Chains A and B, each alone.
Chain A
Amino acid sequence: MWSPLAPLHSRLSFVLSRRRLDDEASRELESHLEMLSERYINSGMSPDDARLAARRQLGNITLVREDIYRMNSIQWLDTLMQDGRHALRLLVRNPSFATVVIATLALGVGANVAIFSVVHSVLLKPLPYAAPDEIYSAEIVIPERIELIPSVPATVQMFWEWRAASTVFSGMTALRPWEANLVGDGEPQRVGAARVSANFFEFLGVPLAIGRGFAIEEEQPGRDRVVVISDALWRSRYAADSNLVGRAIAINGESHTVVGIAPPRLLVPTGTRLHALVPFAPRVDIWRPIAPTAAELKQESWDHGVLVRLPAGASLETGTQQLTAILNERTRRAMPGANIVATMRFVPIRETYAGKIRVRLLLILAASSLLLLAACASIANLFMARVATRAHEFATRVALGAGRTRILSQTLAEAMLLAGCGGAVAAAFAIYGARLFAAFGPEEVRAMGAASPNLPLLLFGLMVTLATGLAAGVVPAWQSYRRESIQELRAAARAALGGHQAARSRAILVGIETALATILLGASGLLLHSFTKVMTTERGYEVDRILAADLSLFGRQYASASARAAFYTGVLDKIRALPGVVSAGAISNLPAVAVWEGASRTILYDTDANLQSVVLARPVAMIRGVTDGYFTSSGTSLKAGRILTGDEQTLTAVISEALARRLWPGQPLETMLGRSIRQGSHLVPLMTIVGIVADTLPGGLDREPPPVVYRPYGQWSSGPMTLVVRTAQEPRALAAAIRAEIRSMDANLPILDVRTMKEIVSATVAERRFQMQLTSLFGLVALLLGVVGVYGVVSYNVACRTRDIGLRIALGAASGDVARWVFSQGMGPVVIGVAAGLVGTIATAVSARSLLFGITPIDPLSLGGVALVLLLTSSVACYLPARRAAALDPITALRTE
């Protein structure tokens, strides 16, 4: 009928100034009253009568003011603010309750968001390539060799044939590890590098930041002295000089021209991620075209990683068949008598980055989810107890006329306030936690870059917190509000406090919390036990008081084997002369980190006349060059015969036990001394076995020890060697002196970190350790939640049933009986929870067996220990209230309402 309401913004201005308007209205009404009174006085009434008449005429001033005030208010906003303030007051009065709930929520939700953001960036986020799902790593599978190695990479010749003839794949690129020693523009530095086919950067679909990639002509020796360097190296060594492109830099003693700078966040396979036999350095900073010389081509080295692109719609089957056919054709041509029939497998590129860590990450995610559940159970328990305490208060308020929805909205405001605070702390926790994870976590995670939780994830976390707050806070309260009359309310209040149903719900929650805590603690117990086993297992070399330094000889002065031998002899002599050095030696590949890397050859008996006919039946062994002093320095024990000296007159070798057992299964080791073998082909000279040493295991203990042939350095002189120095005291103290001695031999040699063997081995188990520490952290938090929960519930039960207890004592129950009764009531759900939790732990352990080392999933020590810890802590938590109950004075107890 009348015109519509004023627009919102003018309404808002009224709301904001309603107090002033109320003040003015009050003044207006007062003065109106006065003027009316004056009028009546002027017409002859007495002042009192006049005032009365005026009042009657004006009507109820308060009602008018209220009316005006209400016109200037937004009802629902007022209610909301009032509820909020009320909730805040209540929580401030109960700080412990608020703190516990907020902390629990923050831990539970925060941990989950942090870990989920890590999982997202490692397992889910698309890789930074063009059409990453099209990229696969191509690997060759030789069925007869599967038990030794599941697959092998390709040779460069294989790659060329594939590239020329493939019609299914839309692109192909090859890459293999390389090492670059930089001199000039700073300290001598060794950087990890890779030799790649010309189309490498185009294949990945990653445009270079400056300059260009490689041209196909540069894949020839002589035209391949061009490099692309990484953004990080460009900034650290060349100060982001924009004129670097086009300039020449010295790599490995030769001049190379920089043609391009890679973009900052280029992701390339590092370490052995692409394939165990294609080992890149932990970082790759320089790329150079693949351009094998004639000599390199004569040796077929199976150490090239090959990536292919399968376009949408193309069939992987067809592609596999095509490449396999080419592969087998070539193999037949090269080794006709060998009868090798290989197959191929294609691994999606995502697997190379995430494959090894997937199980671990998902387990951590599962653990944090369990923690969240435990947190929810804990909060639900807390809220239930709290609601029950206030049931009387609610009953009274309902009786006084408060609407039920109003009370509910107040509980809601409380829960939301807590959840909101919890969510805010959880967000901070999540961001910080993700950063910690990225900094200290497993290498795969660090390689994928920063894993900061993005906004959608944080919002999701906030929603989860609010939902948890809602569920835990409001649902238990809802039941109280479905009553009609005050009597029902009072009865319900009493029931809520001490009734069977409520007590059972609380007991169930305690059981659930305990079970979850058991699973988490059980998992961490198993991981801990496993870890100690890993650290104490015999590896075949010693770990204490040993220093290791990587060296790599490059440059023309070390081109000849004798020059290299002279260098190492010289530097080792100098190091041995240092005080505090017990012995020193060197090996081409340190077992702790590179047991499966480096040169490998097929080993033939002296009777083998033809390589091809036996190649698949003979073992493949890793070939290592060792100087004298290596075996004594590293502590590898001798099983038979003697170790190599620096002065071998004939071709000799020392083999590992694994090789000995492969070559002559079942025979005693001493009988093998003096026998001869060949490495690589039947055309090379024989070498005599003079000793057999113990097997060496890789630091992480995650693979079998390989067969190894150790050659004296004079007979197998590789450029890169690792010096191994045994010291009398703390090894680190000698690092500087050793560095100085090396530098005195050749100042241009880059020296990588001189590290102690303990540090090296520790780094190889870093992943395992991290997982153990994280799971233990979760376990401890869950334990804390559980124990606090048990204590709270039992104390609460005692408080509720004070009258019952008083009655029992009054009727003659001994205090011991009472204590026992309370105790058993409290421990009942705990015991069940522990039992259920142990079952859960065993189930988890069985499914994640690969993560356990040296122990079974039903490891009695870990599981027994965990059960003991839980039962003990819970017993203490039950005992304290039980003792309180036993000490109750029956008369006071009976008088309690």
Chain B
Amino acid sequence: MAKGKAPSRVDVLQGTLDLMVLKTLESLGPLHGYGIARRIEQISDALLKLNEGTVYASLMRLQQEGRISSSWGTSENNRKAKFYAITIRGRRQLTAETENWERIAAVMSRLLRTVEHV
């Protein structure tokens, strides 16, 4: 992701997806790519119906940023699968980003409500 550039729509989607993956791993613990995709599907139908593959791009990005780690293991149905887990740094950044989002959401809702009144 480029620093300092006004985030384009793709970037925002990327960033949002990264956040969702991170949150998933924080809540559900170590999970493989398929499992993460199912959980995100549950939570956000509209966004990811068509391109589950991008989860893996997101996972690679998060690994490069040091926010998650990976290791090979065996899944529920005895398949070899790569499991991902959140790191301490990931947790810290997740908290920070969550606060960020909530702040933005609060400001946006206040703004929109104010406009309505006028």
B66 interface contact, C-beta 8 A: yes
Q: Which of B23-31, B46-54, B106-114 contacts A (4 or more CB under 8 A)?
A: B46-54
Interface string of B46-71 (1 = CB under 8 A from A): 00011111101100110111110000
- The smallest C-beta distance from B33 to any residue of chain A, in angstroms, reads 5
Q: A28-B33, A28-B82, A32-B37 are in contact. Are A64 and B57 (CB under 8 A)?
A: yes
Q: A28-B56, A58-B52, A59-B50 are in contact. Are A6 and B64 (CB under 8 A)?
A: yes
Kindly identify, within residues 15 to 29 of chain A, every residue whose CB is under 8 Å from any CB belonging to chain B. 21, 24-25, 28-29
Q: A10-B64, A32-B34 are in contact. Are A56 and B56 (CB under 8 A)?
A: no
In the complex, what residues of B have CB within 8 A of residue A6's CB?
A: 64-66
In the complex, what residues of A have CB within 8 A of residue B79's CB?
A: 31
B117 interface contact, C-beta 8 A: no
In the complex, what residues of A have CB within 8 A of residue B51's CB?
A: 58-59
A780 interface contact, C-beta 8 A: no
A346 interface contact, C-beta 8 A: no
Whether A61 lies near B53 (C-beta < 8 A) is yes
Interface string of A53-86 (1 = CB under 8 A from B): 0001111110110011001100000000000000
Q: A14-B64, A31-B81, A71-B61 are in contact. Are A64 and B53 (CB under 8 A)?
A: yes
Q: Which residue on chain A has the smallest CB distance to residue B79?
A: A31
Tell me, in angstroms, the Cα distance from A617 to B50 when the chains sit together. 117
A95 interface contact, C-beta 8 A: no
A1 interface contact, C-beta 8 A: yes
Q: Which residue on chain B has the smallest CB distance to residue A31?
A: B79
Whether B49 lies near A57 (C-beta < 8 A) is yes
Tell me, in angstroms, the Cα distance from A59 to B56 when the chains sit together. 11
B52's partner among A1, A31, A57, A71 (CB-CB below 8 A) is: A57
Tell me, in angstroms, the Cα distance from A67 to B49 when the chains sit together. 20
In the complex, what residues of B have CB within 8 A of residue A293's CB?
A: none
Whether B60 lies near A68 (C-beta < 8 A) is yes
Whether A28 lies near B65 (C-beta < 8 A) is no
Q: Which residue on chain A has the smallest CB distance to residue B49?
A: A57
Tell me, in angstroms, the Cα distance from A60 to B56 when the chains sit together. 12
Q: Which residue on chain B has the smallest CB distance to residue A26?
A: B56
Q: A31-B34, A32-B34 are in contact. Are A59 and B64 (CB under 8 A)?
A: no
B1 interface contact, C-beta 8 A: yes
A11 interface contact, C-beta 8 A: yes
Whether A29 lies near B7 (C-beta < 8 A) is no
In the complex, what residues of B have CB within 8 A of residue A21's CB?
A: 60
A71's partner among B32, B34, B60 (CB-CB below 8 A) is: B60
Q: A11-B64, A14-B64, A59-B50 are in contact. Are A68 and B15 (CB under 8 A)?
A: no
A456 interface contact, C-beta 8 A: no
With most chain A CB atoms within 10 A of its CB, the pick from B53, B82, B93 is B53
Whether B60 lies near A72 (C-beta < 8 A) is yes
With most chain A CB atoms within 10 A of its CB, the pick from B15, B37, B60, B65 is B60
- The smallest C-beta distance from A63 to any residue of chain B, in angstroms, reads 8
The number of residue pairs between A and B whose CB atoms lie closer than 8 Å in the complex comes to: 75
- The smallest C-beta distance from A638 to any residue of chain B, in angstroms, reads 101
Whether B65 lies near A5 (C-beta < 8 A) is yes
B9 interface contact, C-beta 8 A: no
Whether A59 lies near B53 (C-beta < 8 A) is yes
Whether A3 lies near B65 (C-beta < 8 A) is yes
Tell me, in angstroms, the Cα distance from A543 to B34 when the chains sit together. 101
- The smallest C-beta distance from A539 to any residue of chain B, in angstroms, reads 85
Tell me, in angstroms, the Cα distance from A28 to B32 when the chains sit together. 9
- The smallest C-beta distance from A719 to any residue of chain B, in angstroms, reads 90
Q: Which residue on chain B has the smallest CB distance to residue A32?
A: B34
A774 interface contact, C-beta 8 A: no
Tell me, in angstroms, the Cα distance from A71 to B97 when the chains sit together. 23
Whether A1 lies near B7 (C-beta < 8 A) is yes
In the complex, what residues of B have CB within 8 A of residue A60's CB?
A: 53
A36 interface contact, C-beta 8 A: yes
Whether B53 lies near A71 (C-beta < 8 A) is no
Total contacting residues, chain B, CB less than 8 A: 29
Whether A1 lies near B15 (C-beta < 8 A) is yes
Tell me, in angstroms, the Cα distance from A3 to B19 when the chains sit together. 12
- The smallest C-beta distance from A205 to any residue of chain B, in angstroms, reads 61
Whether B50 lies near A57 (C-beta < 8 A) is yes
In the complex, what residues of A have CB within 8 A of residue B49's CB?
A: 57
Tell me, in angstroms, the Cα distance from A661 to B62 when the chains sit together. 104
Q: A28-B81, A71-B60 are in contact. Are A2 and B18 (CB under 8 A)?
A: yes
- The smallest C-beta distance from B1 to any residue of chain A, in angstroms, reads 6
A4 interface contact, C-beta 8 A: yes
A35 interface contact, C-beta 8 A: yes
Q: A21-B60, A71-B61 are in contact. Are A59 and B33 (CB under 8 A)?
A: no
Q: Which residue on chain A has the smallest CB distance to residue B100?
A: A1
Tell me, in angstroms, the Cα distance from A265 to B111 when the chains sit together. 87
Tell me, in angstroms, the Cα distance from A5 to B67 when the chains sit together. 11
Q: A2-B18, A24-B82, A28-B82 are in contact. Are A64 and B54 (CB under 8 A)?
A: yes
Interface string of B88-118 (1 = CB under 8 A from A): 0000010001000000000000000000000
Q: Which residue on chain A has the smallest CB distance to residue B1?
A: A2
Q: A32-B34, A59-B52 are in contact. Are A3 and B93 (CB under 8 A)?
A: yes
Q: A3-B65, A24-B82, A71-B64 are in contact. Are A56 and B15 (CB under 8 A)?
A: no
In the complex, what residues of A have CB within 8 A of residue B18's CB?
A: 2
- The smallest C-beta distance from B5 to any residue of chain A, in angstroms, reads 9
Whether A2 lies near B15 (C-beta < 8 A) is yes
Q: Which residue on chain B has the smallest CB distance to residue A63?
A: B53
In the complex, what residues of A have CB within 8 A of residue B60's CB?
A: 21, 25, 68, 71-72
Tell me, in angstroms, the Cα distance from A760 to B33 when the chains sit together. 91
Q: Which residue on chain A has the smallest CB distance to residue B41?
A: A57
Q: Which residue on chain A has the smallest CB distance to residue B6?
A: A1
In the complex, what residues of B have CB within 8 A of residue A25's CB?
A: 56, 60
- The smallest C-beta distance from A12 to any residue of chain B, in angstroms, reads 11
With most chain B CB atoms within 10 A of its CB, the pick from A1, A4, A36, A64 is A1
Whether A4 lies near B52 (C-beta < 8 A) is no
Whether B50 lies near A35 (C-beta < 8 A) is no
In the complex, what residues of A have CB within 8 A of residue B67's CB?
A: 3
Q: Which residue on chain B has the smallest CB distance to residue A13?
A: B64
- The smallest C-beta distance from A452 to any residue of chain B, in angstroms, reads 49
Tell me, in angstroms, the Cα distance from A58 to B49 when the chains sit together. 9
- The smallest C-beta distance from B65 to any residue of chain A, in angstroms, reads 5
- The smallest C-beta distance from B34 to any residue of chain A, in angstroms, reads 5
In the complex, what residues of A have CB within 8 A of residue B61's CB?
A: 71
- The smallest C-beta distance from A453 to any residue of chain B, in angstroms, reads 46
Tell me, in angstroms, the Cα distance from A64 to B15 when the chains sit together. 16
Whether B57 lies near A71 (C-beta < 8 A) is yes
Whether A67 lies near B34 (C-beta < 8 A) is no
Whether A56 lies near B93 (C-beta < 8 A) is no
In the complex, what residues of B have CB within 8 A of residue A4's CB?
A: 3
Interface string of A115-154 (1 = CB under 8 A from B): 0000000000000000000000000000000000000000
In the complex, what residues of A have CB within 8 A of residue B32's CB?
A: 28
Whether A35 lies near B15 (C-beta < 8 A) is no
Q: Which residue on chain B has the smallest CB distance to residue A25?
A: B56
Tell me, in angstroms, the Cα distance from A64 to B59 when the chains sit together. 11
In the complex, what residues of B have CB within 8 A of residue A3's CB?
A: 65, 67, 93
Whether B64 lies near A67 (C-beta < 8 A) is no
Whether B33 lies near A32 (C-beta < 8 A) is yes
Report 28 cross-chain contacts, Cβ distance below 8 Å, ordered by A residue.
Answer: A2-B18, A2-B65, A6-B65, A6-B66, A14-B64, A25-B60, A28-B32, A28-B81, A28-B82, A31-B34, A31-B81, A32-B34, A32-B37, A32-B52, A32-B53, A57-B50, A57-B52, A59-B50, A59-B51, A59-B52, A61-B53, A64-B54, A64-B57, A68-B57, A68-B60, A71-B57, A71-B61, A72-B64
Assuming A6-B65, A6-B66, A36-B52, what are 17 further A-B pairs, CB within 8 angstroms? Answer: A1-B1, A2-B1, A2-B65, A4-B3, A28-B32, A28-B56, A29-B56, A31-B34, A32-B52, A32-B53, A32-B56, A36-B34, A59-B51, A59-B54, A64-B53, A64-B54, A64-B57
The 6 A-B residue pairs with the shortest CB-CB distance, nearest first, are A59-B51, A64-B53, A59-B53, A67-B57, A68-B60, A58-B53
| A interface residues (Cβ-Cβ under 8 A, vs B) | 1-6, 10-11, 14, 21, 24-25, 28-29, 31-32, 35-36, 56-61, 63-64, 67-68, 71-72
